[in-house]
Structure 1
Amino acid sequence: MCHLQARRTQGRYERKRFGESPSVLDVDGFRVPDSSATEDSSVFGEGTVWFMWNNIAGDTMIERLREPLSHSKGGCIISHPPSTGKTRLTIVFLQSYLKLFPKCRPVVIAPSNLLLNWEAEFQKWAMDIPFHNLNSKNFSLKEDEGTVGVFHCLSGAAKKNPHLIRMVKLKSWAKSKSVLGISYDLFRILTGEDGEEGHTARNEHNLVWKALKKVETEKRILLSGTPFQNNIKELYNTLCVVSPKFAADLEQKWASLSSSIDKNARALEELRDILSPLVHKCSENVKNVSLPGIRDTVIHLKPTELQEELLKRVPENPGSFYEQNLMSLISVHPSLVANRKEFSELESQLKERRCRLDPDIGVKMKFVIELIRLCGGLKERVIIFSQLLDPLNLIKEQLNSLFSWTLGREILYKDGKLDVNQRQISINSLNDPKSDVKVLLASTKACSEGISLIGASRVVLLDVLWNPSVEQQAINRAYRNGQTKFVHVYCPVTSKWEVDKIEQQTRKRYHSDVILSRNEENTSCSVSEDIILECMVKHDGLRHIFEKLSHAPRVVPSTCFYFGSQPSKGSS
C-alpha cells in the first residue's frame, strides 16, 4: 500500500510537471488492496486495473474519457488463478469508474454462493459503494431510505415476499451509485430463459448464454481462471458474451483456424494472438504467499474379481452417460450398482450389508479408506471430490462402520443442496486446525469454485472428468494462498477408458496453455516425498491393489505473462 501510494504520488508529480493529463489512477480513493507490500504484486494489481480501463473505456487519461472513444473493445477477460484477488481488483476498477461515471450501474452475475464473497469484499474494501445481493432475503442496510420506508408500511406477509424484497433492492440500485449482484439462475429466470441447468455459458443452446446475450451494455468483464473449458468452439462462444462486436468481426477467421488445428501447427498461436488484446493472464507466481508445492499422481489400480466381472458387462468405451456412470460406480465399489437391471442376478449379493460395508470389494474404495486412515495419523486432512453423490455417501457409511466417525465431526459432507450457512460452517471447520475433521466428502459441481479449503493437503479426484478446468478448479480449493503444507493430488483409475480421458484432458490443457499464454516457461516446482503413498505401495496388505503410478504434469504453474503492453508512468 505504501509503495503504491508513493508510486502514484510520483506519477501525479511527473504528469503535473510535464503538463500531462491526469490518469484514472489519480482519482481520489483509488487503491489496489493487497495483503502484501511487495513491488511485483502491487504493480501487477495496478496493471490489471489499467488493463480493465483500456478495454472497457478505451483509455486511462481522464481528459480523453470525456468524449466517447471508438477504440474501446467493450469487454475483457481477467484470467488469474484462484486467490490472486480478481474480485478485489474488480472492485477497485468499479470504485474508480463510478467516481468518473456516477450514473453507471454495474451488475455482478455469479454463482449464488460466490455472491456472498462479493458482498464481504465490498464491505471490506468499498464502504462508499453499496452492494445489493438480489439473491439474499436480507437487506444490507444500505438500501434507499425512502423505498425501505414504503416497504415497512406493508403487511407482515408482504414483507416476506422475496419479489418485493428484490424490488426494494432494484429500486435502490437504480436510484443511487451502487452495484447489483445476481446469480446466474436468477438472472436467467428474470430474463425469460427459464429451465434447469448449470451456470456455465459456453454454447449457443445454453439458457444462461442466451440470457447474457440479451444484455445491452458492451462493457463486460469476465473473471475466470479457466476461460478455456472443453474446446475452442466453446471459447469462441465465451468471447461472444464478453465482446460481441469483437467476436463477430473475427467469426470467419476463428472458424477457419479452429478447424485446421490438427493440420496447421501455427493455428493455435494465431488464435492466441487474436485473443491477446482481450485477455489479462497471470499465473500462480503472482500469489503473495509462496506455496510449499504440489504433486499430481495418477494411480493405476487393479480391479477386484467382482469388479472385473461387472465391468465386462459394460462397453469398454461407454458411449452414453448412463454407461459412463455405471463404469464410474463399479470402479469405486460394486454395491453401488446393486439396483441396476444389468446386474439383477447379483442384486441380493450386492445389497448385503457385509458387501456394502466391505472396502476390500472395491479397489478405489479400498484406496480411499486407507489413505484417509493414514492421513489422520499424520494430522493431514483429505478432500474426496466426486461428480456422483452415491460414492460419497458410501464412503461416509464405511468410515462410520469402520472407525465410528460421525458426520459433522470427523466427516464433513458438501453438495449443492446444503444450506449456505451450513456450507460455511463446514468450510470453517475444515480450515480450523483444532477441529476433529479428518475428511471432506465434496460434490465436484458444488465445491469446485469460489471457496478456500486450505485445511486439507490431500485431494482425491474419484472420477475423471471430460472438462479439465473443472478438475483444476477443484484442486485449487486446497492449492491456494494460505496453504502451509505440500499438496498431493491423487487420480485413481481402473480402466483404459479413464486413462484415455486423462489423455484427452492433457490435449485440452495443451490447447489452453498455447492460446492463453505466449512465453510459457514452467517454473520448477518443489517435490515432496509422499510418505503415505509410499507406505501404502509397500504394505503387504495393500501392494496387490496397485498396478503402477505416474506423476502427471497437470498442475505445474507457468510464469506470469501480461497480455497487452505494460503501462508506463504517465502513459495510457
Structure 2
Amino acid sequence: MYHDLCEQAGSVDGQSQDFHLYGTVWDLIPGVITSMYQHQREAFEFMWTNLVGDIRLDELKHGAKPDVVGGCVICHAPGTGKTRLAIVFIQTYMKVFPDCRPVIIAPRGMLFAWEEEFKKWDVNVPFHIMNTTDFSGKEDRDICRLIKKEHRTEKLTRLVKLLSWNKGHGILGISYGLYMKLTSEKKSGCTEGNKVRTILLENPGLLVLDEGHTPRNERSIMWKTLGKVKTEKRIILSGTPFQNNFLELYNILCLVRPRFGEMFLTEKKVGRRHYVSKKRQDKFSDKYEKGVWASLTSNVTDDNAEKVRSILKPFVHIHNGTILRTLPGLRESVIVLKPPPLQKSIIRKVENIGSGNNFEHEYVISLASTHPSLVTAINMSEEEASLIDKPMLERLRSNPYEGVKTRFVIEVVRLCEALKEKVLIFSQFIQPLELIKEHLSKLFKWRVGKEILQMDGKIQPRYRQTSIEVFNNPDSDAKVLLASTRACCEGISLTGASRVVLLDVVWNPAVGRQAISRAFRIGQKKFVYTYNLITYGTGEGDKYDRQAEKDHLSKLVFSQEDEFNNVRNMLSKAEMDHCSKLISQDKVLEEMASHDQLKGMFLKIHYPPTESNMVFTYNQIAPELS
C-alpha cells in the first residue's frame, strides 16, 4: 500500500507558470494591495526581493536571481497581521513557482488559526494540517482512491496529506513537535519512516517558521533538524525575535539565513581554513563567527545599537506597531501589592525552597505570591514541611482575600462585570488558574465553559479554537478567560478582552508582550488596560528589572531608524486630538485604589514611560515603598 501511494505521488502534476509576462507580483492577485496595510505592502515586496530578487514578473521568468541567498525575518509587532501577510506572499509565490511545495511550521495550536485565516480570506489553496486526523476534502483524488478500502489510522491520514502536498497540491501545515518527530534520524529497516523524513527535509521549496523564535537553542534537536532542510527559501515570522540574549538571536538568524555567520569571516580567517579538514573548518568558522557576534553584541547601548541594526537591515523587516495607533489605545501598569500578614509569613518560610534550581524557585515564589494555600502543592522536605501548617492553609483555599493577587483579580472581575468588560488572566503555571476558577465559581455562581473559559496545554487545539470564538463573541456568556502563557500567549486573537492581568513576572519579556498582544491587536474595538502584578517582598521586583533590561535591548535592536517610540502606553489618536479629555483613565483601578477596604493592598501603581529609550525599573520605586 505504501509503495503504491508513493508511486502515485511520485510525480508532480504538470503545471505551467501561471502569471503575467509583464507587471509586478501585485498583479498576481488583482486588488489584494487595497486590502493590506502599508506595513504589509512594504513587507510583501521586501519578502519578494529577499527570496527571489525582484517584484517585476518579467525579471522572474527564469526563476530567482542567482545572487539571492537565504531568506528573511518579518519582525512585526504582535497583532499586526503577519499571518495575513504570509498567506498573500505564499499565494503569489505559488503562482510564479507552482512546484514550490510550501511548508508552514508553527506551534500546534496556531495551525488552526492559520486554517481560520485561509477560510476568512477565501484562499482557494488546499491547506493540509498534519496534526489532525480530519481530511480537508482537498486531498489528491487518486491517492484517496487507493486508500478507500483501508482502515483509517492516524498514520495513514498523515501519509495521505503529506503525499497530496508532495504531489503539488497545496500547503503543508505541521507543528514543530511533529516535524521534529517525523524527521528524526534515519532508522535501519524503516523504509516508510525514512521516505517521510526525506520528503520533509528535501522537498519543501518554501519554508515558513511561524513564531520563528521557538527553535533558538543550538543544542536542541529542533534547531539542528531545521538546519538540515534543503531549501534556503525561508521566512521567519516573529513579533519578538529577541527572547533572552544575543546568542539565541544569532541562532535564529542562522536558521533563516544558513550562511549568516560567514559575513563575519575576514579574508585572513577564510584563508587559514584551507589547511584544515572540512569538519575542523566548519568547527573553526562557527566558533569564530559566534565570537565576532558576541563581541559586537556584548554591550549594546543607545549609541552603538545602529551597528547591529545595520547588519540586520538587509533581511529583517521591522514594524513596531504604528498601525496599532488606530486602535482605541493601550495603557499598561505595574502594580506593587502588599501581601496580608499570613501570606507574608508564608512567603518568608518558603522563599529558600528550590533556591538551587531557578525553575523550581520561580515556581515556589509564583505560587506563594498569588495565594498562601498554593504552597501545599510544592514538594518539600520534612524539615521544610514542618514550617507550614498545611491543614490550615487548605482551609483558607476557598478564601480569595487571603492572597493579595487573588483578591486583586476577584475585585477587577467584579467591577468589569458591571462595566460589561471581559477579563483575560495569564499565568505560567496551572495551579493559580485552577484556584481562581474555583473562586469565581463559588463567589459569582459562574459555570466553567460558560462564564468561565480556560485554555492551557491540556486542551485540544480544535476545542481551543472554539473557546476563542466564544470568548470573542460579544453576545456570549463568557466573562473571564484563564490562560496559560505557555499555551496561549502567541498567535491567537482574544480581542474580546479589554482587561489583561499578568499574574506572575517571567524572565523573558517577550512572554508578557505576546500575552498583552492577544487583546491589543488589529480588530480590538475597546481601550485595553493591562496589569502587571508584583507581590512586595518576593523578589519579583528584581525579576521585573531583568525583564525590563532585556526588553530595552530588544527595542534598541529591533526599531526602525526613525522610530524609537514604542507602542506600549501610546496615546491613541483620540487622546492626541483631545489631550484635555484623557480617555485612558482607568475607572476600575481608580475605584479599587480609592475604596476604603481595598486601597490598603496597593503599595504603588506605576505607568512605565512611553519612550522606548527609557527603562523603568522596580528598584526606581522600591525606595518609596520602604
Query: Which of 58, 76, 81 is 2:77 aligned to?
Result: 81
Which of structure 1's runs of 4+ aligned residues deviate more than 6 A?
Answer: 554-558
SS of structure 2 residue aligned to 1:338: helix
SS of structure 2 residue aligned to 1:95: helix
Residues 365-393 of structure 1, C-alpha deviation per residue, up to 9 Å, x if partnerless? 11111111111111111111000110111
Query: Which of 593, 596, 618 is 1:540 aligned to?
Result: 596
Cα distance in 2 for residues equivalent to 1:419 and 1:408:
14
Which residue is 1:121 aligned to? 117
* 1:294 aligned onto 2:330: yes
Which residue is 1:525 aligned to? 571
SS of structure 1 residue aligned to 2:336: strand
**Post-superposition shift, 1:186?**
0.5
* 1:441 aligned onto 2:436: no
Q: Counterparts in 2 of 1:31-70, with a 5 A limit?
A: 32=32, 35=35, 41=37, 43-65=38-60, 66=62, 69-70=65-66
Closer, same or farther: CA 488–123 of 1 in aligned 2, 3 Å: closer
Q: Counterparts in 2 of 1:36-435, with a 5 A limit?
A: 41=37, 43-65=38-60, 66=62, 69-125=65-121, 127-154=123-150, 158-159=151-152, 161-192=153-184, 200-250=214-264, 252=288, 255-256=291-292, 258-259=294-295, 261=297, 263=299, 265=301, 266-287=303-324, 290-313=326-349, 314-315=351-352, 318=355, 320=357, 321-340=359-378, 341=380, 342-353=384-395, 355-435=396-476
Residues 489-537 of structure 1, C-alpha deviation per residue, up to 9 Å, x if partnerless? 1011113621112111221111111111122242751451111111111
Cα distance in 2 for residues equivalent to 1:556 and 1:274:
21
Residues 523-565 of structure 1, C-alpha deviation per residue, up to 9 Å, x if partnerless? 751451111111111111111111111112479899xxxxxxx
TM-score by length of 2: 0.78
Deviates more, 1:96-105 or 1:161-170: 96-105
Residues 200-243 of structure 1, C-alpha deviation per residue, up to 9 Å, x if partnerless? 21111122212211111101001111111111111100001110
Cα distance in 2 for residues equivalent to 1:267 and 1:209:
30
SS of structure 1 residue aligned to 2:373: helix
Cα distance in 2 for residues equivalent to 1:501 and 1:106:
41
**Post-superposition shift, 1:259?**
3.6
Closer, same or farther: CA 299–417 of 1 in aligned 2, 3 Å: same
Aligned residues: 525
Closer, same or farther: CA 177–100 of 1 in aligned 2, 3 Å: farther
Unaligned runs of 5+ residues in structure 2 are: 1-19, 187-211, 265-285, 573-581, 615-626
Residues 102 and 177 in structure 1, CA contact (< 8 A), matched pair in contact too: no
Residues 81 and 283 in structure 1, CA contact (< 8 A), matched pair in contact too: yes
Deviates more, 1:397-406 or 1:376-385: 397-406
**Post-superposition shift, 1:141?**
1.4
SS of structure 2 residue aligned to 1:298: strand
Name the aligned partner's letter for residue 269 of structure 1. Answer: E
Name the aligned partner's letter for residue 428 of structure 2. Answer: Q
State percent identity of aligned pairs: 46
**Post-superposition shift, 1:438?**
2.1
Cα distance in 1 for residues equivalent to 2:43 and 2:459:
35
Which residue is 2:539 aligned to? 497
**Post-superposition shift, 1:23?**
4.8
Cα distance in 2 for residues equivalent to 1:212 and 1:501:
32
Cα distance in 2 for residues equivalent to 1:540 and 1:75:
58
Closer, same or farther: CA 129–359 of 1 in aligned 2, 3 Å: closer
Once superposed, what is the RMSD of the aligned Cα atoms?
A: 2.7
SS of structure 2 residue aligned to 1:136: coil
Residues 353 and 361 in structure 2, CA contact (< 8 A), matched pair in contact too: no
Name the aligned partner's letter for residue 562 of structure 2. Answer: N
Cα distance in 1 for residues equivalent to 2:26 and 2:599:
64
TM-score by length of 1: 0.85
Which residue is 1:568 aligned to? none
Residues 296 and 555 in structure 1, CA contact (< 8 A), matched pair in contact too: no
Cα distance in 1 for residues equivalent to 2:116 and 2:590:
42
Closer, same or farther: CA 452–305 of 1 in aligned 2, 3 Å: same
Cα distance in 2 for residues equivalent to 1:91 and 1:193:
31
Residues 435-470 of structure 1, C-alpha deviation per residue, up to 9 Å, x if partnerless? 222211111111111211111111110000111111
Residues 77 and 320 in structure 2, CA contact (< 8 A), matched pair in contact too: yes
Closer, same or farther: CA 59–400 of 1 in aligned 2, 3 Å: same
Deviates more, 1:549-558 or 1:247-256: 549-558
**Post-superposition shift, 1:153?**
2.5
